[in-house]
Structure 1
Amino acid sequence: MNHSEIINKIIEFADNAHGDQTRKYTADKYIVHPIRVMETCKEYTEELPVLATAILHDVLEDTATSEDHILHFLKDIMNENDRNLTIKLVNELTDVYVKKDFPKLNRDTRKRMELERLRKISARAQTIKYADIIDNSKEIPQHDPSFAKRYLKECNDILLALDKGLPKLRKEAINQVVTILKNL
Structure 2
Amino acid sequence: MTRSEKLASWVADKHKNQLIKCTVLPYFDHLNKVALLAKGATEWGYETGLCHDLLEDTNTTSADLNAALLNFGYPEAIAELITFNVIELTDVFTKTAYPNLSKKERKKMESKRLQTLSPAAQTVKYADLIDNIAWMMKYDLKHAAKYLKKKATLLLSLNRGNEELRQQAMDIIRQELLKV
How would you bin the TM-score normalised by the shorter chain?
Answer: over 0.9
Asked if residue 100 in structure 1 is aligned to residue 100 in structure 2, the reply is no
| TM-score, with structure 2 as normaliser | 0.94
Alpha-carbon displacement from aligned partner over 1:119-157 (angstroms, at most 9, x marks no partner): 111001011000000011011121111222232222212
Identity across matched positions, percent: 35
- Checking the alignment, whether the CA contact within 8 Å between 1:25 and 1:140 is kept in structure 2 is no
| Cα distance in 1, alignment partners of residues 101 and 141 from structure 2 | 24
- What aligned pairs does 1:16-95 form with structure 2 within 5 A after superposition? 16-45=13-42, 47=43, 49-76=44-71, 77-95=73-91
Alpha-carbon displacement from aligned partner over 1:25-55 (angstroms, at most 9, x marks no partner): 211000001100111112434x2x2211100
Q: CA RMSD in A?
A: 1.4
Amino acid at match of 1:180: E
Aligned partner of residue 168 in structure 2, secondary structure: helix
Asked if residue 119 in structure 1 is aligned to residue 115 in structure 2, the reply is yes
The alpha-carbon deviation at position 99 of structure 1 amounts to: 2.2
The alpha-carbon deviation at position 23 of structure 1 amounts to: 0.3
The alpha-carbon deviation at position 14 of structure 1 amounts to: 0.9
Distance 1:99 1:147, change over 3 A: farther
Aligned residue pairs, count: 179
Amino acid at match of 1:69: D
Indicate the residue corresponding to 1:165 in structure 2: 161
Structure 2 gaps, min length 5: none
Which consecutive segments of 4 or more residues in structure 1 shift more than 3 A? Answer: none
Aligned partner of residue 133 in structure 2, secondary structure: helix
| TM-score, with structure 1 as normaliser | 0.92
| Cα distance in 2, alignment partners of residues 114 and 154 from structure 1 | 13
